[in-house]
Structure 1
Amino acid sequence: MTDPKQSFEHVDNVRTREEQLGEQLFDAERQYTLWTAIRTHKRILLHCTAAFGAGMCFGYDTIANGATISMPGFELYFGAVTADGTLYVPSIWASLWTAMSYLLQAMGGFLVGFVSDRVGRKWPCVGSCLLSIAGVGIQFGATSRAMLLGGKMVNGLAIGCLFATATAWASEISPMRLRGPIQSAIILFMFFMQAIGLVVVRMFVPDLTTHSFKVVFAVQWAWPVATGLLFVFMPESPTWLLLQGKTESAKKSLERLHGCNNEIEARLAHMALGIRLEEEQALRHGAGSYVDLFKGSNFKRTLTVSWMFIGFGFAGACLLAQAIYFLIIAGLEAIHSYDVAIGGFGIAIFAIVASWFLTEKKTVDFLGWSWRELNLLISWQAVTLVSTAWAITSEISSYRLRAKTQGVAVISNAFSTWLFTFTVAYIYNVDAGNLGIRAGFVYGGGSLLFFIFSFFLVPDLRGFSTEEVDWLYENRVPIWKIQENAARAREGVQAMEANMQHEKVVV
């Protein structure tokens, strides 16, 4: 591997002009409105279609996992019958099919962190898509409950790897003003694909043969195939390339993302400067292993990411995963249960788009938890928790720990979903707790709990660069005072840059 210090020499030689120009570009672009940023960075948005595909894979898999168990054809083939002749899916299998898929997602999010730091972001995404194709194939050909479980576990592993790496890649190629909206757009495509998946499932609800649910599985092949092909033609993350000391490759990647005549040298110099600052921190805090996520100022960031995603379970996300089956056992006809779910996802999609124009992410979190506390409207979760959590995750992480932070997000999300999904069926199902629709009130207190603790853990990072976020956490600025210290953060980063340059000149 090329020595990073030698690879950064070219950038160091032009520091006076290019780094200053890069800083000016960054300061100008951080003031852009959303529409101005979209018009300026159309090429980056086009490249992000690959990451949007990862959201589509995740979204459709959620439906294939949760909605198919409520299809009459599925219940006839894999289900059981009560003494009075009512079809149902045994609680143990309803829990295992969903919970084990999410557990393997957690494993995928953890394992891919090692791989993506070594070989990059692009090719692990391609490999994950190939693994997903295999997992879908096992589900399509399943002839037993155990074989179906195996397919869901293989695909869960693939989805965890894909989503963690794709969100990290999208974060690293995104300009600061679009980083949050692009992460939210990934979630938008995830919910859009869930709505499409429900439409597909609804079309085959009247079909009582195995053909009904097998078509749902077969359609799933389209998304990993398309996403894998897109990633083959995508550029590697310029941030990862710089971290590996591959300056020329990083320059070529930036040219593809921004265009050849868009101040590439200045952008490269600004990125390299930020990475050198992190290298200075790495000498004090470690080189970027999973252990480093729990050391020093990184621990609070990791706690914030984990807290947001674990909150999904307490606030009722597990009910959303099995919403249709829940509505059916509550007494609603199967066909109308799908109509309700499709309408809910439609509201969620509209809410996510609206959230792009709400600049304070912490405020959105507070509104969401309050709204659920008052109304128990799970569909609002799409904007207040899911999209906001992924946006904050992409902004709170440092360069050297970004891939592993995204992995922690996937692990936390998957573990929470696994734990609560495994138990939720025992709360509402007819062969267990039999609470029925009253199960919704079990999760009311969780929203209040997260409403309170988010004040101390969830930051508003609007307008901050990665280097400034590092400074804020290094200097232990209270979460509720972050915006008040924006000027201090900029001055602090400038002072560190000047000090680093002075030390280089002295040496």
Structure 2
Amino acid sequence: MIPTSKTEGQNVLGQTPSSPTQHQNRMCSDSSGDTNLSAAFTNTTYNSASPCLPGSWTATNDVEQSMTLRKGLCRYPKAIMWSVLFSLTLIMEGYSTILVPNLYSLGPFRRQFGTLQHNGDYEISAIWQSALVNGALAGQIVGLFAAGWLAEKIGYRRTLMTGLAAITAFITITFFATSKPMLLVGQCLLGAPWGVFQTISTVYAGDVLPVQLRGYLTTYVNACWVIGQLIASVVLRTMLSISSQWAYRIPFGLQWAFPIPIFAVVLLAPESPWWLVRQDRFKEAKTSLRRLRRQDEDESIADFDAGLEETLRYIKQTNDSEKEAQSGTRYIDCFRGVDRRRTEITCMCWIIQTLCGSTFMGFSTYFYEQAGLGARHAFTLSLAQFALGLLGVLASWLLLSYLGRRTIYLSGQILTFLCVLLIGILACIPHSHPSTSSTTTNVPRSTGGRVAVGESRTGGPGPIPWAIAALLLVFTAVYDATIGPLCYTLVSEIPSTRLRSKTIVLARNCYNISGIITNLITPRMLNPTAWAWGAKAGFFWAGTSVVGIVWSYCRLPETKERSFAEIDILFRNKTKARKFKGTRIVGATQRREEGGTSKANEA
């Protein structure tokens, strides 16, 4: 990122630091107290021959500490704007990925792709439900690895534009699909550009935005997904009155509204200055820096330009250092030494998103229907669900200011565990089920075996289905205020500097693989032609939630208000996860304060 982390020696965008020599001397002083961390960095990305950290690291640290959030917002509005515009791809992806799972409850879609059941209803088999969702996930795995290679070869902008061009073509397949195999091919192909969008937008934002906005930026990624899902829910809700094939073709076709304007935005956007420096294109890198920062009112043009030159020098210096450190590193290095623990934590942070039962949200419309609500109520509740999710993300920004990452993440898991457990308990209480009620058997088959859009003639669902629906709404609000957005913050802070990109790719693909597994079993749990658990599936997710809670309590460290340098030291000293918060780093010494006593250990 342009304003640097404390371990990367980057300069804040456009800022000229004070004398590096003064900072170098300060860092080398034996009596420097809390700032003397040199003993803990024998194997960092810096020159191991030097016993001291580079002066640029300390200069950047001073500038970062003096810059407030408000100043960062005022100084980098253009960088924020480009980051937000790049993130439109994630809104598009959130819209697209939620379509097929929620179309399972739409009558025209089921009549086209489902099979007729003995009660006159149409159902898509659990096997095909899983295949259609998992085909997209398989494509995402390919897209993730391809994005990492393409981005380094042709740049972030061109990689993103390639993905946008590809998705424009692939939408055609799903729009004109008339059979399940054709729809599956479209889903698999669409998954590849979705994988590209998952990485490029976030990496680009990390390059152009200041560290002060890191927590807000990473949680904003989750907000983009929720916004896209909310838009999809609104569209699907309006399709309920359409009985023809256009009820599902229109939502597919609306995907074309995204790529062209986003393509134009990306075409005009500045390339990442970090990528340009890696390609030795320094003049273009300086131009990008100028387009990403606003000149202060009391800053002369000469000072502004000098600051850009200084930033460019520091980017090159950091790039040269990282290039040397990256030499010889491979994906296998993520599983060696201290990095093995960091990889485990990063991967589990994402896997927990599936262990907690979040697939209920992905199949929410279908879940509501199988829990005993009609299609109209199901789509309306899904709309409310994603609106609550967006409010949850906004609430997470407030929580980040007052609570630690570990506290928020663990508390969220406990609350979602209670929600899915109560859902399972309520499902055991006998209640009427409109979708399987005998009153629907006399409905003409042309309507898909349902009265109008899924309502029962008996007066609608009873209190139990509504209670189950309310619990899923609570689950969504809690998830999107805690587990959902905090995951992105944690995975950006836990990995080591030199293996960060590799670790995140591995972790995201672990999430996709776990998603494939859960998407194989969830339709079987809910589908009346398979296991037919319905809302009783809450018991299963309560069990997997316990696994996540126990792991988080034992293994998830607290990284709030920790610099990357401090996190490195804590991991190298094998500090227990529960001790991260209370461990003080003073020079080359760790002081663990327990019960009023402190124990010093050499860092």
TM score, norm. by length of structure 2: 0.73
Deviation at 1:243, TM superposition (A): 4.1
Corresponding residue number in structure 2 for 1:364: 408
Q: CA deviation at 1:433?
A: 0.7
| Structure 2 letter corresponding to 1:78 | F
Distance 1:208 1:112 in 2: 40
2:547 maps to 449
- Return 259-268 or 97-106, whichever deviates more: 259-268
Going from structure 1 to structure 2, the CA distance change for 1:378 and 1:244 (only over 3 Å counts) comes to farther
Structure 1 residue identity aligned to 2:413: W
- Quote the Cα distance in structure 2 between the aligned partners of 1:280 and 1:489: 26
Q: Aligned match of 2:293 in 258, 262, 265?
A: 258
What's the counterpart of residue 233 of structure 1?
268
SS in 2 for 1:126: helix
Which of 87, 90, 113 is equivalent to 1:52? 87
For 2:365 and 2:586, how far apart are their aligned partners in 1?
50
Deviation at residue 34 of structure 1 after TM alignment:
4.3
- Cα offsets for 1:108-144 (capped at 9, x unmatched): 1123222223333222111111111122111001111
> In structure 2, do the counterparts of structure 1 residues 222 and 465 end up closer, same or farther at CA, with 3 Å as the change threshold?
farther
Q: Residue 314 of structure 1 aligns to which amino acid in structure 2?
A: L
Task: Name the aligned partner's letter for residue 47 of structure 1.
Answer: W
Give 1:371 deviation, angstroms: 0.7
The answer to whether the Cα contact below 8 Å between 1:316 and 1:443 also exists between their aligned partners in 2 is yes
Indicate which of 336, 339, 351 corresponds to 1:295: 336
Change (3 A) 1:70 1:186: same
Worse-matched range after superposition: 171-180 or 89-98 = 171-180
| Distance verdict in 2 for CA 1:419–1:30, change over 3 Å | farther
* 1:439 aligned residue: 537
Q: Look up the match of 1:505.
A: none
Q: Which residue of 2 aligns with 1:481?
A: 579
1:442 to 1:294, Cα distance in 2 relative to 1, 3 A: same
- Deviation of 1:15 (Å): 5.1
Which residue in the other structure is 1:311 paired with?
352
- Preserved CA contact (<8 Å) 2:160 2:197: yes
Q: 1:473-495 deviations in whole A, cap 9, x for unaligned? A: 34444333334456448999xxx
d(CA) in 1 for partners of 2:323 and 2:506? Answer: 22
**Are the equivalent residues in 1 in contact too, given 2:126–2:527 (CA < 8 A)?**
yes
1:464-479 alignment to 2 at 5 Å? 464-479=562-577
1:392 matched to 2:490: yes
Match of 2:209 in 1: 174
| 1:259 CA drift (Å) | 3.5
Which blocks of at least 5 consecutive residues in structure 1 are unaligned? 1-7, 493-507
Mapped pair 1:120 → 2:180: no
Corresponding residue for 2:556? 458
- Amino acid paired to 2:482: T
State the partner residue of 1:87. 122
* Residue correspondences, number: 479
Which residue in 2 is equivalent to 1:328? 369
User: Judging changes above 3 Å, is the alpha-carbon distance between structure 1 residues 67 and 378 closer, same or farther for their aligned structure 2 residues?
Assistant: same
What is the Cα deviation at residue 36 of structure 1?
Answer: 4.5
Where structure 2 has 5 or more consecutive residues not aligned to the other structure, the ranges are 1-9, 11-15, 24-53, 296-303, 421-473, 591-603
Q: Structure 1 pair 59/111, CA: closer, same or farther in 2 (3 Å)?
A: same
Paired amino acid for 1:304: I
* TM-score under structure 1 length normalisation: 0.86
- Correspondence 1:194-209 to 2 at 5 A: 194-209=229-244
Q: Partner of 2:450 in structure 1?
A: none
Greater per-residue helix proportion: 1
Task: Give 1:33 shift.
Answer: 5.3
Identify which range, 273-282 or 119-128, moves more after superposition: 273-282
User: Are the counterparts in 2 of residues 348 and 383 from structure 1 also a CA contact under 8 Å?
Assistant: yes
* SS of equivalent to 1:407: helix
Name 1:503's counterpart in structure 2: none
**Counterpart among 28, 38, 42 of residue 77 in structure 2:** 42
> How many Å apart are 1:186 and its aligned residue?
1.9
CA displacement at 1:302 relative to structure 2: 2.0
* Deviation readout 1:241-267 (Å, 9 max, x if unpaired): 344454444333322222462833444
Q: Which string of whole-angstrom CA distances, capped at 9 and with x for unpartnered residues, describes residues 444-494 of structure 1? A: 1222221221234433333344455444434444333334456448999xx
Which string of whole-angstrom CA distances, capped at 9 and with x for unpartnered residues, describes residues 254-282 of structure 1?
A: 22222462833444455455445544544
Residue number among 141, 154, 158 corresponding to 2:193 in the alignment = 158
Moved more, 186-195 or 391-400: 391-400
Letter in 2 for 1:62: T
CA deviation after TM superposition for structure 1 residue 62, in Å: 2.0
Larger displacement relative to structure 2 (321-330 or 147-156)? 321-330
- The separation in 2 between residues aligned to 1:173 and 1:295, in whole angstroms, is 31
The one-letter code sitting in structure 2 at the alignment partner of 1:362 is R
Matched, 1:378 2:475: yes
Pick aligned residue for 1:132 from 164, 167, 170: 167
2:526 to 428, 447, 458: 428
Task: Name the Cα RMSD after superposition.
Answer: 2.9
Larger CA deviation: 466-475 vs 186-195: 466-475
Residue in 2 that maps onto 1:501: none
Q: Which residue of 2 aligns with 1:502?
A: none
Q: Deviations over 1:332-358 (max 9, x none)?
A: 111111111111111111111121132
**Structure 2 CA distance for aligned equivalents of residues 81 and 437 of structure 1:** 24
Contact persistence 1:110–1:411 (CA under 8 A): no
Q: 1:53 to 1:404 in 2, by over 3 A?
A: farther
CA distance in structure 1 between the aligned counterparts of 2:280 and 2:204, rounded to whole angstroms: 18
Task: Report the Cα offset of residue 292 of structure 1.
Answer: 3.0
Is the 1:183–1:387 contact (alpha carbons within 8 Å) kept by the matching residues of 2?
yes
Q: Specify the code of the residue in structure 2 equivalent to 1:148.
A: L
Deviation at 1:194, TM superposition (A): 0.5
Matched with 1:107 is: 142
The answer to whether the 8 A contact 2:75-2:294 is kept is no
Q: Deviations over 1:391-422 (max 9, x none)?
A: 22223345544443332243122211111011
Tell me, yes or no, if the aligned pair for 1:112 and 1:407 is still in contact at 8 Å. Answer: no
Helix, strand or coil for the counterpart of 2:87?
Answer: helix
- Structure whose alpha-carbon radius of gyration is higher: 2
2:96 to 36, 57, 61: 61
- 1:405 aligned partner: 503
**Structure 2 residue 352 is the aligned partner of structure 1 residue 337:** no
| SS of alignment partner, residue 461 of structure 1 | coil
CA distance in 1, matches of 2:68, 2:589: 24
In the other structure, the counterpart of 1:504 is none
Q: Please give the per-residue CA displacement for 1:53-78, whole angstroms capped at 9, x wherever unaligned.
A: 12202210122121122111101111
Match of 2:104, SS?
A: helix
1:294/1:302 contact within 8 Å kept: yes
Q: Is the 8 A contact 2:325 2:498 kept in 1?
A: no
Using the TM superposition, name which of 248-257 and 301-310 deviates more: 248-257
Distance 1:388 1:277 in 2: 30
